[in-house]
Amino acid sequence: DTEVTQTPKHLVMGMTNKKSLKCEQHMGHRAMYWYKQKAKKPPELMFVYSYEKLSINESVPSRFSPECPNSSLLNLHLHALQPEDSALYLCASSQGVRRGIYNEQFFGPGTRLTVL
Protein backbone atom coordinates (compact mmCIF):
# COMPACT_ATOMS: atom_id res chain seq x y z
CA ASP A 1 0.00 0.00 0.00
CA THR A 2 1.74 3.14 -1.22
CA GLU A 3 -0.93 5.73 -0.82
CA VAL A 4 -2.07 8.44 1.52
CA THR A 5 -5.84 8.69 1.88
CA GLN A 6 -7.82 11.70 3.02
CA THR A 7 -11.44 12.07 4.03
CA PRO A 8 -13.69 13.75 3.26
CA LYS A 9 -12.97 14.82 -0.31
CA HIS A 10 -15.13 17.90 0.07
CA LEU A 11 -16.33 19.73 3.16
CA VAL A 12 -18.60 22.74 3.51
CA MET A 13 -18.92 24.26 6.96
CA GLY A 14 -20.21 27.36 8.66
CA MET A 15 -18.05 29.62 10.76
CA THR A 16 -19.52 28.23 13.99
CA ASN A 17 -19.16 24.57 13.07
CA LYS A 18 -16.63 22.07 14.39
CA LYS A 19 -15.34 19.55 11.89
CA SER A 20 -12.33 17.29 11.40
CA LEU A 21 -10.19 16.24 8.46
CA LYS A 22 -8.67 12.78 8.46
CA CYS A 23 -5.50 11.45 6.86
CA GLU A 24 -4.26 7.88 6.87
CA GLN A 25 -1.22 6.03 5.56
CA HIS A 26 -0.12 2.41 5.89
CA MET A 27 3.40 2.72 4.52
CA GLY A 28 5.03 2.62 7.95
CA HIS A 29 5.98 6.27 7.65
CA ARG A 30 6.80 8.05 10.89
CA ALA A 31 6.43 11.65 9.73
CA MET A 32 3.18 13.26 8.64
CA TYR A 33 2.43 16.74 7.39
CA TRP A 34 -0.48 19.13 6.87
CA TYR A 35 -0.36 21.68 4.04
CA LYS A 36 -2.81 24.39 2.99
CA GLN A 37 -3.12 25.20 -0.71
CA LYS A 38 -5.07 28.18 -2.03
CA ALA A 39 -6.22 28.20 -5.64
CA LYS A 40 -3.39 28.56 -8.17
CA LYS A 41 -0.81 28.75 -5.36
CA PRO A 42 1.77 26.26 -4.07
CA PRO A 43 1.16 24.29 -0.89
CA GLU A 44 2.15 25.96 2.37
CA LEU A 45 3.34 23.88 5.30
CA MET A 46 1.17 24.05 8.43
CA PHE A 47 2.29 21.25 10.76
CA VAL A 48 4.82 18.41 10.94
CA TYR A 49 4.46 15.37 13.18
CA SER A 50 7.45 13.15 13.83
CA TYR A 51 6.91 9.89 15.72
CA GLU A 52 3.46 11.12 16.74
CA LYS A 53 4.83 14.29 18.30
CA LEU A 54 4.25 17.76 16.90
CA SER A 55 7.66 18.98 15.73
CA ILE A 56 6.81 21.98 13.55
CA ASN A 57 3.94 24.47 13.78
CA GLU A 58 4.28 27.18 11.17
CA SER A 59 2.50 29.81 13.28
CA VAL A 60 -0.90 28.41 12.38
CA PRO A 61 -3.94 30.02 14.12
CA SER A 62 -5.35 28.02 17.02
CA ARG A 63 -8.62 27.46 15.18
CA PHE A 64 -6.66 24.67 13.46
CA SER A 65 -5.79 21.90 15.89
CA PRO A 66 -3.77 18.91 14.70
CA GLU A 67 -3.78 15.51 16.33
CA CYS A 68 -1.77 12.36 15.66
CA PRO A 69 -3.44 9.45 17.54
CA ASN A 70 -1.01 6.89 16.11
CA SER A 71 1.69 6.60 13.49
CA SER A 72 -0.81 5.89 10.69
CA LEU A 73 -3.39 8.53 11.39
CA LEU A 74 -3.38 12.33 11.34
CA ASN A 75 -6.35 14.55 12.07
CA LEU A 76 -6.93 18.25 11.66
CA HIS A 77 -9.67 19.63 13.90
CA LEU A 78 -11.38 22.78 12.69
CA HIS A 79 -13.31 25.26 14.81
CA ALA A 80 -14.53 28.81 14.25
CA LEU A 81 -12.97 29.05 10.81
CA GLN A 82 -13.13 32.10 8.59
CA PRO A 83 -14.10 32.25 4.91
CA GLU A 84 -10.45 32.95 4.04
CA ASP A 85 -9.59 29.51 5.41
CA SER A 86 -11.32 27.98 2.39
CA ALA A 87 -8.64 26.00 0.56
CA LEU A 88 -7.40 22.56 -0.39
CA TYR A 89 -5.87 20.84 2.63
CA LEU A 90 -3.20 18.32 1.74
CA CYS A 91 -1.75 15.64 3.94
CA ALA A 92 1.64 14.06 3.26
CA SER A 93 3.85 11.44 4.85
CA SER A 94 7.51 10.44 4.70
CA GLN A 95 9.59 7.65 6.18
CA GLY A 96 10.99 9.97 8.81
CA VAL A 97 12.44 13.38 9.30
CA ARG A 98 16.10 12.50 9.18
CA ARG A 99 18.39 13.78 6.49
CA GLY A 100 18.12 11.81 3.29
CA ILE A 101 16.47 11.51 -0.07
CA TYR A 102 14.32 8.66 1.19
CA ASN A 103 12.42 11.23 3.18
CA GLU A 104 10.55 12.40 0.13
CA GLN A 105 6.96 13.23 0.88
CA PHE A 106 3.99 11.34 -0.51
CA PHE A 107 0.81 13.38 -0.78
CA GLY A 108 -2.84 12.51 -0.38
CA PRO A 109 -5.54 13.79 -2.78
CA GLY A 110 -6.60 16.55 -0.41
CA THR A 111 -9.82 17.80 1.15
CA ARG A 112 -11.49 20.77 -0.53
CA LEU A 113 -12.78 22.94 2.33
CA THR A 114 -15.31 25.71 1.89
CA VAL A 115 -16.16 27.96 4.84
CA LEU A 116 -19.38 29.89 4.50
103 binds another protein (CB under 8 A): yes
Separation of alpha carbons 72 and 40, rounded Å: 30
Pairing of strands 111-115, 10-13: parallel
107 binds another protein (CB under 8 A): yes
Looking at the Cβ atoms of 17 and 103, the one nearer to another protein is 103
Q: Omega before 8 cis (within 30°)? A: yes
Stretch that binds another protein, among 21-29, 70-78, 79-87, 92-100 (CB under 8 A): 92-100
Q: Which of residues 53-72 bind another protein (CB under 8 A)?
A: 55-56
Separation of alpha carbons 56 and 100, rounded Å: 18
Among 48, 74, 76, 115, binds another protein (CB under 8 A): 48
113 binds another protein (CB under 8 A): no
28 binds another protein (CB under 8 A): no
Q: How far is the CB of 109 from another protein (least distance, A)?
A: 5
Among 11, 66, 94, 113, binds another protein (CB under 8 A): 94
DSSP string, 53-108: EEEEE-S--TTEEEEEEETTEEEEEEES--GGG-EEEEEEEES-SSSSGGG--EE-
1 binds another protein (CB under 8 A): no
